[in-house]
């Protein structure tokens, strides 16, 4: 066997190459949370095939990559749950509380050069902590989703696309000593232009209250997910439309997906603004074409006191379509910020 060692600040990576019975065995060993992670590449060597004498043996390769991904990030990589515990795309992952410590705050501030005074008060219990720790509390569950069979292969080609955190109304600042828990679900796995994309949605809690909602997305370059397994969800999409005339009211009420709520205290009239909060689920027939769309939610009108009053239920379902008619209607009629 041929051996190549590469050393850096994280340790030593070993590459071992061995030729056996017409196959090339490349084994990579590198430091990981659970000890040493091992990734094996198997190649078939056929010199008679002049154009492609060396070809990757794909049988079992995706499982080997998922296992080494788990070994790299999880302490319990030997347990199947470490990398296949999220086989149900509709299930949620719940994390235990992530405790924010003085060392966390000090290390973070030094790393990113954050010198705000309320983070530099010794990091004692009761001192402020950066809101970035909301995302850190989600990291273990996010990695489990990326190593799951729902996501499939392509872990070695993953790039992070974006990360969003929306604080809940009235959310209190994070403090040293706080424990943050999270509930994560998969927002979608679908094919994008450069590869397959996965979106992860999360709800974060602290002191028993919801303090933020999270959305993060990853792309596995040059990979694709089977169309029959691709899906996409949109949670809590919010729209506000103005009903300036009686014709606007009649047009909305006539939609088959709009039904007055049983206990609605009044009917819509011209001159009001209607707020929609919707969830949508999409399945794909082929790229750019949906095989099914399901949109549900509610419509509200603000009372003079500012409270949201439920007036209608939204229920829409259809088969093959290139767009969601409900969302398209609301986008066309959405009120501008000057009108709200």
Domain range annotation of the chain: 2-73, 89-225, 234-333
Cα Rg for the chain, rounded, in angstroms? 26
Residue 261's pLDDT is: 94
Residue 32's pLDDT is: 76
Residue 74's pLDDT is: 66
Query: In CATH, what class is 89-225?
Result: alpha beta
Contact 97, 180 (CB under 8 A): yes
pLDDT per position in the chain (340 positions), as tens? 688 888 877 788 889 999 888 899 999 888 877 678 888 889 998 888 888 899 998 888 888 888 887 777 765 545 544 445 566 788 888 887 788 888 878 777 777 666 666 665 554 555 778 787 788 888 888 888 888 888 888 888 999 999 988 888 888 888 888 888 999 999 999 998 889 999 999 999 988 889 999 999 999 999 999 998 899 998 888 999 999 999 999 999 999 999 999 988 999 999 999 999 999 999 999 888 999 999 999 999 988 888 889 999 999 999 999 999 999 999 999 865 445 4
Distance CA 291, CA 321 (A): 7
Q: Is the alpha carbon torsion for 95, 99, 100, 102 positive or negative?
A: negative
The CA distances from residue 167 to 58, 114, 125, in Å, are 44, 21, 22
Arch. (CATH architecture) of 234-333: Beta Barrel (2.40)
Q: Is the alpha carbon torsion for 71, 196, 293, 276 positive or negative?
A: positive
Cα atoms in the Cβ-side hemisphere of radius 13 Å centred on 97: 11
Residue 340's pLDDT is: 43
Q: Locate 184 and state its tokens.
A: 């994560």
Contact 146, 68 (CB under 8 A): no
Residue 186's pLDDT is: 92
Residue 31's pLDDT is: 81
Strands 195-206 and 231-243: unpaired
Angle at CA 73, nearest 5°, toward 189 and 104?
A: 105
Cα atoms in the Cβ-side hemisphere of radius 13 Å centred on 86: 26
Burial class (CB in 10 A: 0-12, 13-18, 19+), 216: buried
DSSP state of 174: P
Distance CA 152, CA 257 (A): 35
Residue 338's pLDDT is: 46
């Amino acid at each position: 066997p041929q051996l190549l060692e590469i050393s850096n600040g994280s340790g030593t990576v070993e590459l071992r190459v061995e030729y056996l019975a017409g196959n090339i065995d490349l084994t990579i060993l590198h430091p990981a949370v659970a000890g040493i992670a091992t990734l094996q590449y198997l190649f078939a060597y056929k010199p008679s095939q002049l154009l492609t004498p060396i070809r990757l043996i794909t049988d079992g390769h995706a499982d080997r990559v998922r296992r080494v991904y788990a070994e790299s990030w999880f302490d319990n990589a030997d347990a199947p749950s470490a990398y296949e515990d999220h086989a149900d795309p509709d299930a949620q992952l719940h994390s235990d509380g992530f405790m924010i410590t003085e060392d966390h705050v000090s290390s973070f501030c030094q790393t990113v050069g954050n010198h705000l005074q309320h983070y530099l008060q010794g990091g004692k219990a009761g001192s402020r902590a950066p809101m970035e720790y909301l995302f850190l509390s989600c990291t273990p569950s996010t990695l489990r989703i990326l190593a799951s069979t729902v996501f499939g292969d392509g872990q070695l080609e993953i790039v992070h696309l974006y990360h969003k955190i929306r604080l809940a109304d009235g959310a209190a600042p994070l403090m040293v000593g706080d424990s943050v828990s999270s509930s994560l679900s998969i927002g979608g796995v679908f094919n994008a232009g450069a590869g397959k994309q996965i979106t992860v949605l999360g709800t974060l809690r602290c002191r028993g209250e919801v303090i933020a909602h999270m959305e993060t997305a990853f792309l596995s370059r040059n990979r694709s997910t089977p169309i029959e397994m691709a899906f996409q969800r949109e949670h809590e999409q919010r729209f506000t439309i103005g009903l300036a005339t009686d014709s606007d009211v009649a047009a909305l009420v006539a939609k088959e997906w709009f039904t007055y709520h049983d206990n609605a205290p009044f009917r819509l009239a011209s001159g009001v603004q209607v707020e929609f909060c919707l969830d949508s689920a999409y399945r794909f027939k082929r790229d750019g074409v949906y095989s099914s769309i399901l949109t549900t939610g509610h419509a509200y009108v603000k009372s003079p006191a500012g409270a949201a009053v439920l007036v209608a239920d939204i229920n829409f379902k259809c088969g093959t379509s290139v767009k969601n008619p409900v969302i398209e209607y609301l986008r066309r009629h959405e009120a501008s910020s000057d009108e709200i």
